[in-house]
Amino acid sequence: MKCVDDFRLRFGNRELVPIVIGGMGVDISTAELALEGARLGGIGHISDAMVPTVSDRRFRTQFVKEKVKLYKYNVANSDKSAVKFDLGQLAEATHNHVSRTMEAKRGEGMIFINCMEKLTMNGPRETLRVRLHAALDAGIDGITLSAGLHLGSFALMADHPRFRDAKLGIIVSSLRALQAFLKRNARLNRLPDFVVVEGPLAGGHLGFGMDWAAYDLRTIVSEIHDYLRAAKLDIALIPAGGIFTGSDAVSYLDSGAAAVQVATRFTVARECGLPDAVQQEYFKASEADIEVNMISPTGYPMRMLKSSPAIGAGIRPNCEAYGYLLDGSGNCAYITAYNREVAAHPGARKISVKDKTCLCTAMRNYDCWTCGHYTYRLKDTSRRLADGSYQLLSAEHVFRDYQFSTEQKIALP
Ligand SMILES: Cc1cc2nc3c(=O)[nH]c(=O)nc-3n(C[C@H](O)[C@H](O)[C@H](O)COP(=O)(O)O)c2cc1C
């Protein structure tokens, strides 16, 4: 009976355990979690979502406070176009997060950073460029481009000395998206090293419409596998989304995948950034407690627990502090929805916005409980304690279970 450990992910002359812990913003996939992935010989992700906030938390910097101070005059203004990020500070925050993580790295694995295009930050091109360059400067092993088509992202890095040596890849949910990316970047003469193919059962934002249930990971993976083979493209294929057991992973590795990317099972690891009380909500969830909705201002569907405090909250937009989803003109779908509700309820002290959420604030406060489809199976991965709560796991336990288990078994702690 094969297990994941019978396979290796080959990157040049490096051989890794073919398990990638996916990026989970905002600091849900913490440096501690990513470092465990690398220590155990696989790949761990940190995320560059809201990285100034993450730096403030990790290193007691004051980036958010300074931004609020600068734009305090604008708090009551619904026009947020003036609220810009200081690019020097953004580079410093990214550098802090990445370099301190890389310094702490032990073992044979790698640390990648997940970089979302949809974090348009009221200056899409320049903020993305700064984040990519700062991560490369700070020695990140690789970058995973996510949440967007990233047609221009390789070009933004092409002048960086590490453009050809860092491992660079993209997350797609269709062959068409991969082909568009390859076509646009053909002139750079640099293929992605890997492509993560994310299916409809993943956590976070989905690369599908609300018809996500009509799609299936295995079909998309096999289309992309056939295409890569026919076109003789040497790009590591990494399926993601709903791979819950070692045996699930083996079935993909056996049919040509180079590795698998997994995340949901690590949401209940001690090293994960979610607060303990939220991790218990993940453990307790039943299938009926999970939904895919459109409350993210990005326009992508997102999967989450129905009990997420972010749903229906009506807080004042907080772009002077955060503002990560402001498009290039200072707009965000939440601001529009919020203003509509304020106008419809004059004088109300508290309003509720049902169709959109202030995702920056919600993610910062761990109030948007995004999760994968199989979150309702997490209770089967641990034990119940005398007080009725579930025992948190170590990232090592979850990693090793993926690596060595067979016959759809899940080892309890
Ligand atoms: C809590 C959570 C947060 C996530 N956040 C992000 C993110 O910020 N960026 C991203 O590209 N993917 C994100 N994902 C997707 C994962 O990186 C991963 O590809 C996917 O969830 C794998 O499927 P699984 O969770 O069923 O194992 C998130 C997933 C979870 C569970």
Model confidence pLDDT, tens digit, residues 37-81: 999 999 999 999 999 999 999 999 999 999 999 999 999 999 999
Question: Is 269 exposed, middle or buried, given 0-12, 13-18 or 19+ CB atoms closer than 10 A?
Answer: buried
Q: What residue owns the CA closest to ligand 1's atom 14?
A: 204
Query: Does residue 30's CB lie within 6 angstroms of at least one atom of ligand 1?
Result: no
Task: Read off the tokens for 349.
Answer: 């002290």
Give the per-residue pLDDT at 188. 98
Nearest-angstrom CA–CA distance, 295 and 10: 39
Q: What is the DSSP string of 218-261?
A: HHHHHHHHHHHHHTT---EEEEESS--SHHHHHHHHHTT-S-EE
**Counting atoms of ligand 1 from 1, which one is nearest the CA of 22?**
17
Query: Does residue 185's CB lie within 6 angstroms of at least one atom of ligand 1?
Result: no
**Counting atoms of ligand 1 from 1, which one is nearest the CA of 25?**
8
Q: What residue owns the CA closest to ligand 1's atom 29?
A: 203
Give the per-residue pLDDT at 12. 86
Query: Does residue 201's CB lie within 6 angstroms of at least one atom of ligand 1?
Result: yes
Nearest-angstrom CA–CA distance, 308 and 327: 25
Pocket test for ligand 1, best of 264, 296, 298, 369 (most atoms within 8 A of CB): 264
Q: What residue owns the CA closest to ligand 1's atom 5?
A: 24
Q: What residue owns the CA closest to ligand 1's atom 3?
A: 24
CA of 348 to the centre of ligand 1 (A): 37
Q: How many CA atoms lie within 13 A of 181 on its CB side?
A: 24
* AA letter at 262: V
Pairing assessment for the beta strands 142-146 and 14-16 based on DSSP bridges: unpaired
Give the per-residue pLDDT at 68. 97
**Counting atoms of ligand 1 from 1, which one is nearest the CA of 47?**
8
Put simply, whether the predicted model's pTM sits higher than 0.95 gets the answer yes
Query: Does residue 204's CB lie within 6 angstroms of at least one atom of ligand 1?
Result: yes
The Cα diameter of the chain in Å comes to 67
- Helices assigned H by DSSP within 4-115: 31-39, 51-59, 63-71, 87-103
Query: Does residue 169's CB lie within 6 angstroms of at least one atom of ligand 1?
Result: no
CA of 349 to the centre of ligand 1 (A): 36
**Residue-wise pLDDT tens digits, 280-300:** 999 999 999 999 999 999 999
Q: Is the torsion defined by CA of 170, 45, 321, 274 positive or negative?
A: positive
Query: Does residue 37's CB lie within 6 angstroms of at least one atom of ligand 1?
Result: no
**Counting atoms of ligand 1 from 1, which one is nearest the CA of 144?**
11
Nearest-angstrom CA–CA distance, 96 and 102: 10
Query: Does residue 378's CB lie within 6 angstroms of at least one atom of ligand 1?
Result: no
Give the per-residue pLDDT at 54. 97
Q: Which residues of the chain have pLDDT under 50?
A: none
